[in-house]
Amino acid sequence: MNDRLIKDYRPYLAKLSELSYDREHKVSLIEDEDMSHRMFNFDGISDKFSKKIRGEKNMSCDGYYEKTSQDTYLVEFKNQEEGKIDKKWLKNKIYDSIATVVMNENVTRTDVAGRVTVIIVYNDANHGEKTDSDYSTSEAFNRFSEKLGELSGRKDVDSLPKKFDLERYKGILFKDVYTVDRRNFEKYFLKILFE
């Protein structure tokens, strides 16, 4: 990948506790200090890229992880309940992140859509005040959706429900998408990503 404008991502390596840090509440969504569980601070990469190209900051996911050249991840950590996350904002953030990867790595959108998995991590244990645009999430509905997935033959992470209407961008912007509460991220994805 010598064609990258930001050639070396290594200065952007960060622990998950840093990438998931919520400045407003001064807490990390993922309390993981393991030095082998690091990924690139994609906000930092995107900031530097934007300064070189357009002078105006793009939206970007929090983390970028290259497990292999054909198996990469964009991760967004939201210390909010699922019902408080704006779907349009989330879609735009993913779009800008994919566009940054395409342009910085000088690859096609099809290449990226064949190798990048997006993971959205939220925090249903974070109960704040509800607004008119919030919707109620249901732990019972989540368990029901997981059970339906299992009954249809899907296992582990593939049995988890896909939320925020993002699945329709599979094959267009990314290879796959997972929308998980922080507990399921820790249960499934720490192994998938780092083992």
Q: Residue holding tokens 């010598």?
A: 2
CB atoms within 10 A of CB 105: 16
Q: What is residue 162's DSSP assignment?
A: P
pLDDT value at 1 more than 60: no
Beta strand 71-77 with 63-68: parallel, antiparallel or unpaired? antiparallel
CA pair distance 95, 174, nearest whole angstrom:
10
75-85 residue pLDDT tens: 999 999 999 99
Instruction: Give SS3 for 166.
Output: coil
For residues 13 and 19, is the Cβ–Cβ distance under 8 A?
no
pTM, to two decimals: 0.86
Angle, CA 32 vertex, CA 92 and CA 123 arms, to 5°: 45
12-42 residue pLDDT tens: 999 999 999 999 999 999 999 999 999 999 9
Q: Where are the domains of the chain?
A: 10-127+134-194
- Mean pLDDT for 134-163 is 59
Q: How confident is the model at residue 125 (pLDDT cuts 50, 70, 90)?
A: confident
Q: How confident is the model at residue 139 (pLDDT cuts 50, 70, 90)?
A: low
What is the pLDDT at residue 3?
Answer: 79
What is the pLDDT at residue 155?
Answer: 62
